[in-house]
Amino acid sequence: MRPETLPRLPHAAAARAAALLTAALLAAAAPALAQPAAQPADLEARCAAVDARVVEWRRDLHQHPELSNREVRTAAKVAEHLRALGIEVETGVAHTGVVGLIRGGRPGPVVALRADMDALPVTERVDLPFASKVTATYAGQTVGVMHACGHDTHVAMLMGAAEVLAGLRDELPGTVKLLFQPAEEGAPEGEEGGAELMVAEGVLRDPEVDVVFGLHIAADRDVGTIWTRPGGLMASADDFRIVVHGKQTHGSRPWSGIDPIVASALIVNGLQTIVSRQMELTENAAVVTVGSIHGGVRSNIIPERVEMVGTVRALDEGMRERIHQAVRRTATSIAESMGATAEVTIPLTTSYPVTANDPDLLTQMMPTLEAAAGTGNVHIANAITGAEDFSFFAREVPGLFFFLGGKPLGVAAADAAPHHTPDFFVDESGMRLGVRALVRLTLDYLAQAERQAAR
Ligand code: NI
């Protein structure tokens, strides 16, 4: 997850609405998928057999966090584990990524499971025996490094799921592709990386991936719960830059020039009417934020130019495009109305698509999530205006992404330290459900495809 933190739990009314939507999704899914899934009888024992080691791996990774595109030790641990399981392994994917392939004993589709591996330039403040004391150089500064978004748990859970699935490979009707991804938090300045680069390097081909599943631990949601939603779960993120060109003059004689500061003030206000007046807010939320604005040097000089940068968040690709057009139109038209000009650049270097869950895939897999989490523990989440680069996989093939509870029961959500902060904390017992969810999603999807093919 990108720097934005998860939102707090929805309030009572939203929670009730979400419960109704969950029930509706389950009801829609139930008739077609009522037959029991092809789960081996000893599946729980197989999962339980990796639980203790998942915790050990997670603690080891937590103590040795690595920044984006520098996940060298992490990748080596992953590759060593996968090779020991007899899994085909490719390393050095998108710099430090690791891709594992479990070829099942029977033909069938290809399921991809994704875990991101990188840590953050945050100095850990949590009092744990395995707290990170690692430092590194980031953007020219010495910084503490911490798994302050929980990606250590993602790696450990996928290593555990890989072990369970490898143990069942002879019975698998299809293939499992394990995507251990670098640089979810963004590659260092001047480098490429993350899911976008993995896709560009062809990880979804050869063999062709049919569906992709991924999860994110959530420090403010109860252990044992799963949160997801159909369609846009997390937002697109596009930075924009607007440069307003005026004509410099004396501050006492504005009529002799063109004032880019007043034009910019109107543009900032105009931009705020895009979401409030032009988007259909009952469909989806959206955000336009101007985060920085610079122009001028002293009180009595009207400057030549003003530069502002900001971000656009949307939960639907169509709305995203309409907002981009509106930003361009608003800035250029307001500038023109004052005799100034505005240059609009969208997007800048980094840009993330909407993380959208395929509605049919979610409906299909909802009973599986319920079976893994237990009745009443799968919830429809509110959409989140933070972004996730899982979106680059899920825009190529149908994807399902969900949040996994990582908050100790009994701690109030408001007291849970946000992601990306020095006090970020995850209850490790939440990983048990993560392993089971990944394993069951894979087994059920493959079994359902095999049954479908046999019809
Ligand atoms: Ni994250």
Q: Cβ(309)–Cβ(291) under 8 Å?
A: yes
Dist. CA 394 → ligand 1 center (Å): 16
For position 36, what pLDDT does the model report? Answer: 45
Q: From the CA of 287, how far away is ligand 1's center (Å)? A: 20
Amino acid, single-letter form, for residue 152: D
Q: In the chain, what are the domains?
A: 12-234+354-453 (3.40.630.10), 236-350 (3.30.70.360)
- Which of 370, 428, 445, 450 is catalytic? The answer is 428
Enumerate residues 6+ apart whose C-beta is below 8 A from 296: 261, 302, 303, 306
Token duo for residue 368: 């599986």
Candidates 306, 261, 314, 260; CA nearest to 289 is: 314
pLDDT at 27: 54
Ligand 1: distance of its center to the CA of 55 in Å? Answer: 19
Q: Is 138 a catalytic residue?
A: no
pLDDT of residue 387: 96
**Contact assessment for residue 379 and residue 226, using Cβ atoms and an 8 Å cutoff:** yes
Measure the CA dihedral 408/413/414/415, to 10°: 0
What is the Å distance from ligand 1's center to 419 Cα?
8
Choice among 124, 185, 352, 388 that is catalytic: 352
Note down pLDDT in tens along the chain; length 455 residues: 654 544 444 444 444 455 555 555 555 554 444 444 568 999 999 999 999 999 999 999 999 999 999 999 999 999 999 999 999 999 999 999 999 999 999 999 999 999 999 999 999 999 999 999 999 999 899 999 999 999 999 999 999 999 999 999 999 999 999 999 999 999 998 999 999 999 999 999 999 999 999 999 999 999 999 999 999 999 999 999 999 999 999 999 999 999 999 999 999 999 999 999 999 999 999 999 999 999 999 999 999 999 999 999 999 999 999 999 999 999 999 999 999 999 999 976 779 999 999 999 999 999 999 999 999 999 999 999 999 999 999 999 999 999 999 999 999 999 999 999 999 999 999 999 999 999 999 999 999 999 999 88
Task: Compute, in angstroms, the gap from residue 435 CA to the centroid of ligand 1.
Answer: 17
Instruction: Tell me the whole-structure pTM to 2 decimals.
Output: 0.90
CA–centroid distance, residue 150 to ligand 1 (Å)? 6
Q: Compute the mean pLDDT over every residue in the chain, rounded to the nearest whole number.
A: 93
d(CA 25, CA 17): 12
Distance 253 CA to ligand 1 centre (A): 52
pLDDT single digits (tens) 96-139: 999 999 999 999 999 999 999 999 999 999 999 999 999 999 98
Ligand 1 mean position, distance from CA 447 (Å)? 30
pLDDT at res. 35: 45
Structure tokens at 257: 């020039």
Cα 360 to middle of ligand 1, angstroms:
25
- 362 CA from centroid of ligand 1 (Å): 21
CA 4 to ligand 1 center in whole angstroms: 9
- Ligand 1 mean position to 185 CA, how many Å? 7
